[in-house]
Amino acid sequence: MNNNKLKGLIWGSLLADAYSLGGHWVYDQEELANSTLNLDALNDPLSSYHPTKKAGDFTHYGDQTIWLLEYMKQSRVYDPFVYGKRWEKNMSIYNGYKDKASSDSLLNIKSGRSFLAAGSGSHDLSIVGRHAPIMFTLQGMDEMLESVKFHNCLTHMSKETLDASKYIAEVTLAMIYNLDVIKTLEERAKFYGKGVEEEVKKAFEMKEKPSNEAIEALGNNCNVTGGLAATIYLLINYHNDFESLLKANLLAGGDSAARGMVAGMIVGARYGFEAIKPSWIESLNEYETLNRLID
């Protein structure tokens, strides 16, 4: 596969998360517009959900993605039992925000549930963008999609997240092979259940609306329902301008990190690392480590 595109999909997801940290989980669009955020740089978080974080860090979504990237780089295969033990150890001592999906999954593991089915009942979109290291590392489509399923079920055992994950994985693969973004988003939706199909349809119906209005109407919270539609809207309107996508996503409020990670993975896979590389990439606090892992 094209190495520039593979680098693009993993960097795109991580960069979107780090950029979103500044406004993550601030739902008031007016507050974001009037804030001190520098939209051309990385920022300290405005919300109280990330007290241990500073500009150049990742949200808890990005941190978990890096755990998976480190594992995949070393193992070159996704073993749900080996990675599950690693995830459990890391999450047990994690000092960032521990969301309900992670907390519930930890409890399920401690109660004896298998890593193949430890996941919470969460419908959160956040898991969908965290599969990027699997897409980056594995070459065979069947192995890739099977691994995405296992990774999804470690923390999210809901049909909504699994359908969305498989849909986004296929779209991302299509981007590596230079398929049209808009056509692929629309055409592949019908193969992944009524929920995905309805989300994509809603996004296309809102495509002419301004971003703040559209994303607030579609849903800027954590749920796949609404969150997936809002992400598709961003891709329809900004897929060929990554920095504009990041800014529109941030200013729309809510769970911008989850939306950004999914959109960044697809944009990076389509246009490659050099096309999405922002001027502030070296401001990432883990830039050198990530550069070694990804190159």
DSSP tag of 207 = T
DSSP per residue over 174-189, as a string? HHHTT--HHHHHHHHG
Q: Would you state the pLDDT for residue 141?
A: 87
Q: Would you state the pLDDT for residue 1?
A: 73
Q: Residue 140 phi/psi, 5° resolution? A: -80, 135
* Full set of structural domains in the chain with CATH: 3-294 (1.10.4080.10)
How far is Cα 71 from Cα 69, in angstroms, rounded to an integer? Answer: 5
**pTM tops 0.85:** yes
* Contact between residue 96 and residue 24 where contact means Cβ atoms under 8 Å apart: no
Q: How many CA atoms lie within 13 Å of 108's alpha carbon, on the beta-carbon side?
A: 22
Two structure tokens written together for 85: 């033990």
Q: Provide CB contacts within 8 A for 270, sequence distance 6+.
A: 5, 8, 175, 178, 181, 239
Q: Would you state the pLDDT for residue 283?
A: 97
Average pLDDT per consecutive 10 residues, the chain (295 residues; last block may be shorter): 94 98 98 98 98 98 98 97 98 97 98 96 98 94 95 98 98 96 98 98 98 98 98 98 98 98 98 96 97 94
Listed residue (199, 248, 220, 261) closest to 13, CA to CA: 261
